């Protein structure tokens, strides 16, 4: 997987998401209004979705391309379909 994606970019995104989730946890203890907490949850969800897009884009650019050019195209397409289904279930 490391060869498929920009791992530094993905780690940076995930650290930001972890910080967002920790902030949400603190908001609960600070008795922040529910609508503000929901807004932050939505922001974290969007950031996690974008991280999934980064992984999927890397998968397409490296794994799918390599699999079609040098491997079994049918197996590559099957794995790609599964990856897209998993990504779509994140929404």
For residues 84 and 64, is the Cβ–Cβ distance under 8 A? no
Q: What are the extents of the domains in the chain?
A: 7-88
- Integer Cα distance of 67 and 89 in angstroms: 24
pLDDT at 5: 79
- Integer Cα distance of 62 and 7 in angstroms: 13
The CATH class, in words, for 7-88 is: mainly alpha
Instruction: Give the per-residue SS3 of 51-76.
Output: HHHHHHHHHHHHHHHHHHHHCCHHHH
pLDDT at 91: 64
pLDDT along the chain (91 residues), means of 10: 80 97 96 96 96 92 91 91 90 64
- Integer Cα distance of 32 and 3 in angstroms: 42
pLDDT at 82: 93
């Amino acid at each position: 997987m490391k060869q498929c994606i920009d791992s530094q970019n993905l780690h940076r995104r995930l650290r930001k998401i972890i910080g967002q989730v920790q902030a949400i946890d603190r908001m609960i203890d600070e008795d922040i209004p529910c609508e503000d907490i929901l807004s932050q949850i939505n922001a974290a969800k969007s950031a996690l979705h974008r991280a999934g897009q980064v992984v999927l884009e890397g998968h397409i650019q490296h794994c799918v391309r390599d699999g079609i050019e040098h491997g079994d195209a049918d197996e590559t397409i099957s794995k790609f379909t599964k990856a897209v289904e998993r990504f779509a279930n994140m929404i």
